[in-house]
Structure 1
């Protein structure tokens, strides 16, 4: 990716993952929570005959719908963010006054980053942006955007199975509920560990925190009749 982050990366061997660790883990957790909530809802209202199938297909249908919605919103967020970068680049390039261009770049920076980059560095960036003749006119989708959206959809949908599959495999619904919740908490612990390692925290502590969040959600569902 070039300095402005606007152009496609040419060297496919060095390309970064389409979805980073946070994206992957958070989408997986989102799918788990959604499936767990809908399984609890069906249990709360009394599933009756064919309870196992009803719970499985309810959770799967829920996550198919939310996976699609989340994938579409990922595309929207991606295009808006890219459009903002394109607009910023054109604003900097068209600004004849260097000081104003530098201030435009500084205003677009995150607050925590501003004290770390001085005007000399920003002038170097401004000069490179101003010298470019190949800036895109507007933001457009690229192939990786759709790959990322498909990845999000699949993560949300796949998260259904650890929660809902026990209801297809076990005839006894209360037992299936216990197995489902244990599997969910185990996956949340693993997800928390992954996020913890990525953020520089102790993995097991982050795992326990995420698992505790899952337990609290499960307790809330049970309290509501799940």
Structure 2
């Protein structure tokens, strides 16, 4: 919790990158799993010469829809979270009792932060927030929010292609399905490596764990008829 974070719509330059490593990798994995699931579903019922095209366009259409939904929900979450911070800031400014303000600030903190900040630090934060004259009246979107939402949409949609493109490039549908699943597992491994390194874990172990999740999901799809 810091004072500068309360006026994000007025200080775009101070914002963090619109999508961090976790956001990017998780959205990519989400798109992969969605495409994999729909490719498996169509493979259960797809037949005929156009089966490959059907799989590709079904997976693409699915991820277009879910990419849009995920982008919109990102905007909703962002505005709600920002609104909560702005409301907290105004509550601290309008509260004349310092002890009540400290308690309000303490209650709003993440649980893992509470043991790290005592009343002295919280009072310093409360005073800085209360002294600000540039607090917005209400939460509002900034340009970076829409850039992030567009990034989420593109990540979910683009993740379709490694899964579904083999069905356009490989005439034999069973062979295309194998290529698709191998590419998916490989991308999941890479995503796991990125997450593991970001979190301070072993990259290859995290990659294997994420790939195992992909293999288990693929097996489940096969068992269900995919």
Unaligned runs of 5+ in 1: none
* Structure 2 counterpart of 1:103: 103
Aligned residue pairs, count:
225
C-alpha offsets along residues 150-206 of structure 1, whole Å, 9 cap, x if unaligned?
000000000000000000000000000000000000000000011101111100000
Which residue in the other structure is 2:155 paired with?
155
Taking the TM superposition and a 5 Å limit, the aligned residue runs for 1:83-122 are 83-122=83-122
Partner Cα distance (2:101, 2:187) in 1: 48
Aligned equivalents of 2:48, 2:224: Cα separation in 1: 18
Matches within 5 A, 1:30-179: 30-179=30-179
* SS of 2:225 mapped into structure 1: coil
TM-score, with structure 2 as normaliser: 0.96
**Matched-pair contact (CA < 8 Å) for 1:4–1:89:** no
Looking at structure 1, the residues matched to 116 and 32 of structure 2 have their Cα atoms a distance apart, in angstroms, of: 39
Contact 1:47–1:55 (CA<8 Å) still a contact in 2? Answer: no
Aligned partners of 1:88 and 1:44: how far apart in 2?
Answer: 52
Alpha carbons 1:190, 1:207 under 8 Å: kept: yes
TM-score, scaled relative to structure 1 = 0.96
- What's the Cα RMSD here? 1.5
Report the alpha carbon displacement of residue 133 of structure 1 after superposing the two structures with TM: 1.2
CA deviation vs aligned residue, 1:118-156 (integer Å, no higher than 9, x gap) = 110100000001101111111100000000000000000
Aligned twin of 1:24? 24
Greater mean alpha carbon deviation, residues 44-53 or residues 187-196: 44-53
Deviating runs (4+, > 4 A) in structure 1?
none
Map of 1:219 onto structure 2: 219
Tell me how far apart the structure 2 counterparts of residues 85 and 190 of structure 1 sit (CA, whole Å): 35
CA distance in 2, matches of 1:181, 1:45: 18
Task: Give the whole-Å Cα distance in 2 for the aligned partners of 1:96 and 1:55.
Answer: 63
Deviation at 1:11, TM superposition (A): 7.7
**Alignment partner of 1:7: what SS?**
helix
Aligned to 1:196: 196
